[in-house]
Amino acid sequence: MPYHEQHGADDPRLDDAREFLARMERHFGQARPGEDVGGYGPVSGTDVTGSVTCLVDTDGDLVDLWLDPGWWRAVGPAGVGAALLAALDFARSKLGVARAVAERYGHELPAPAAPPSAQHLIPPPTAPLPDPDSPRYLEAISEKIDRGFAILDATQRLSRQAAEPDRQLVAGPYGIVRVGVAGGAVVSAEVDGYDLGPADGDRIAADALAALREAARLTIAVRR
């Protein structure tokens, strides 16, 4: 399903995605093939409400996150866990856009590899991107993003099916955030809302950052 159909044509993050695409066009278009094209990260992503922002490096690793002051009204404690994963997912999907644009200009960027056992579930590579003036340009970008989501979905589905009995919960140092890890994937994030208030966004963010980093370490260990 195309990205705009998954998230809705009125998703406020679409403007951010378009601005990011334009910036990547400028960044990679100004460099000759073979030149160093670093410096386009880190990349940020938010959930649809803007309550959570995640910052990832160009490898897709989480480096920072924070909550908007209005998080309590927008999602509340019950919705923060889902917002955390949505923001992280969106930031990483923007990296997929960067790789697609880089490819069109003759640059190669490393992409995270899926576990070998998931390879048969991964869709074939998409066609090279056409010229930006082509009427199919945005559609081709969407296809590449969809393939990225398909790889992520296949990996997570296989991990859940194969390793659900071994599901682990990783808690942050404050015990507020718990991240579920199954096999080689993060499958859930929950926030204990007991004794939390609107002013606790920084505590939640610090706890979530620690928990998600530890969860990432565990998923890497499993995939090896």
pLDDT digits (tens, 9 = 90+) for 16-62: 989 999 999 999 999 887 788 888 889 999 999 999 999 999 888 99
Total number of residues shown for the chain = 224
Interval 178-218: pLDDT, tens: 999 886 788 899 999 999 999 999 999 999 999 999 998 88
Instruction: For the chain, give the percent of residues with pLDDT over 70.
Output: 75
More confident residue, 192 or 133: 192
Q: Residue 116 has what pLDDT?
A: 42
Q: Which pTM value belongs to this model?
A: 0.74
Average pLDDT value over all residues in the chain: 81
Q: Residue 9 has what pLDDT?
A: 55
Sign of CA dihedral 187, 192, 198, 199: negative
Q: Residue 118 has what pLDDT?
A: 44
Instruction: For the chain, give the percent of residues with pLDDT over 90.
Output: 43
The domains of the chain are located at 3-163
Name the region of 131 (left: φ>0; alpha: ψ -120 to 50; beta: rest). beta
Please compute the mean of the pLDDT values over residues 163-185 and round it to a whole number: 83
CA dihedral 135, 137, 143, 148 (to 10 degrees): -170
